[in-house]
Amino acid sequence: MFNDAGSNNGHNGDVPIEICTALINELNAMHPSHPIHMWMNIPHMGLCSMDPDYTVEESWGIQAVNVVLNGAHGFPGLAKSARLFIEFSNETWNSAGSGFSQTFYCAYRGFLRWPSAGVSDYASMVALRSVINVEDIKGSAHNSERLSFVLAGQGTLGVSGLNLARIDGTKFYHNDPSNVWGPTVAPMAHHDYFAFAGYFVPSKSFDSAYLAKQVADWLANIHDLDGQEIACAGYVKGIVDQTLGGSETVDRYRLTLLPAYVAKMKSYNRIAIMYEGGWDRSVTVVSAGGSVSGALPFAGGAIDGKSNLVVGVSASYLAALAPGYFILGYGIPPLTRIVSLSGTTIVLSNNTTVKLSFAQFVAFAPEQMFLFAVKRSQSWSTALLTFFNQFGSGSAMPAEYIANGLRWGHIFPTSYGFENTEWDDVDVLWQKAGERNRSLD
């Protein structure tokens, strides 16, 4: 429920709570193997009882919980099988620019309240307002055993620094008059879960040392799927092995950070969970002339289903291409490359298979095509599922970010991918993760 453009106008997420609840209800009406729960973020500027002009009627948290659980304006409440997870704002540790202005807002409010905290204390005010919101809701008429309260932090920190300050509390939090529970009760004690994100990307030094050769090996095996998978596995090793790929690797999270989170949460009789995560290596598609952009996710041209030509392509998009680039689209065989370019025509390495007056396609340079292949490989699927399966006692809900998208998603450029049926082209990981989830008790 934080603003979809960040949070500069933090009460304006543009989607009514009733509609968000209806979506979760529709998903549960499809009888999934396990209930699909709802996660709601309380806006950082939402009123709570520590604010001087507060009333219960104006409490964003209390009234939002009422709407979700009990329904409003003709919409029913949340399906009885579903829980409601509640988090104060979103990534209030993230200081990466104006898209995360909630971080700076909370820190500055902390500075005004406790000047000696400075303007970069991203823990104290967040912890205080999160706890106050939690206790406001728990003390309201709309409290329910179906509610789960989440405190979140930055995945890579583990149980240290900013995360530890949020979990245990700072001196500013503990000694604040609004902390009526006293200095011996930590912020974590008010919450049910501590959530983190785990994003995985090899270091730049790994790319410098290995990427060019791995791309060359993959290209050399263009007609050998097993050989291509071996090349992909070499790159995946850099995303998994900390000794090769650095700190943002799967095994650092799996073998070091996750156990640390679990141990800390067990000391509070709480559980560590994830709120998002997954692949984080950027993959770049050719974008030019307004094609393959946020407004238009693909380029276009005509194919006849029998020759190796794409005709009527935008000249501005064609100008950004080069022989050897890969062309992906419905009606174009896998691993098809550009042979030559002329005017508004692309000559391909394979004949097209479907006649389309407007064929949708995208193009990748060879290195980026390799990275796209790695992301869709069996090796990457196995690596991330190994991480997911590390979750157990004291931990739950391994997570990824989104389904559709090039960098973080599992299908691209739309929900049709490069097929003619929606969601038929999701990658191996998405399919295997679904199988895993359905098999859980």
Write the pLDDT tens digit of every residue in 29-75: 999 999 999 999 999 999 999 999 899 999 999 999 999 999 999 99
- CB distance 261 to 159 below 8 Å: yes
Find the farthest-apart pair of alpha carbons in the chain and give their distance in angstroms, rounded. Answer: 76
Residue pair 93/47 in contact by the 8 Å Cβ criterion: no
CB 402 within 8 A of CB 395: no
Residues 75 and 15: their CA atoms lie apart, in Å, by 14
How many C-beta atoms surround the C-beta of residue 357 within 10 A? 10
pLDDT for the residue numbered 93 = 95
* Dist. CA 307–CA 221, nearest whole Å: 25
SS (H, E, C) 331-388: CECCCCEEEEEECCEEEECCCCCCEEEEEEEEEECHHHHHHHHHHCCHHHHHHHHHHH
What's the pLDDT at 10? 46
What tens digit of pLDDT does each residue of 312-355 get? 999 999 999 999 999 999 999 999 999 999 999 999 999 999 99
How confident is the model at residue 11, as a pLDDT? 45
What pLDDT is attached to residue 13? 64
Mean pLDDT of 145-157: 98
**Chain centroid offset of residue 88 CA:** 18
Output DSSP code: residue 48.
-
| Residue-level pLDDT at 5 | 44
| pLDDT value at 6 more than 60 | no
**Beta-sheet strands, E only, within 38-83:** 38-42
pTM for the model stands at 0.94
pLDDT in tens, 19-37: 999 999 999 999 999 999 9
Band of pLDDT at residue 386, cut at 50, 70 and 90: very high
Are the CB atoms for 68 and 128 separated by under 8 Å? no
Residue 371 — very low, low, confident or very high, per pLDDT cuts 50/70/90? very high
Q: Are strands 355-364 and 338-342 parallel, antiparallel or unpaired?
A: unpaired
The total of other beta-carbon atoms located within 10 Å of residue 235's CB is 28
The DSSP code for 436 is: H
Neighbours of 90 (CB within 10 A): 21
Domain residue ranges in the chain: 17-191, 200-283+371-439, 299-364
The pLDDT, as a whole number, for residue 99 is 83
User: Per the structure block, which two tokens stand in for 118?
Assistant: 């400075």
% of residues, the chain, pLDDT over 90: 95
Q: What's the rounded Cα separation, in Å, for the pair 17 and 296?
A: 29
Residue 305 φ/ψ, nearest 5 degrees: 80, 5
Q: How confident is the model at residue 8 (pLDDT cuts 50, 70, 90)?
A: very low
Question: From CA 217, how far away is CA 214, in angstroms rounded?
Answer: 5
* Closest to 66 (Cα-Cα) out of 86, 51, 45, 52: 86
Q: What letter would DSSP give residue 37?
A: P
Give the pLDDT confidence of 203-250 residue by residue, as tens digits: 999 999 999 999 999 999 999 999 999 999 999 999 999 999 999 999
| Peptide bond between residue 413 and the one before it cis (omega within 30 degrees of 0) | yes
Summary mean pLDDT of the chain? 95
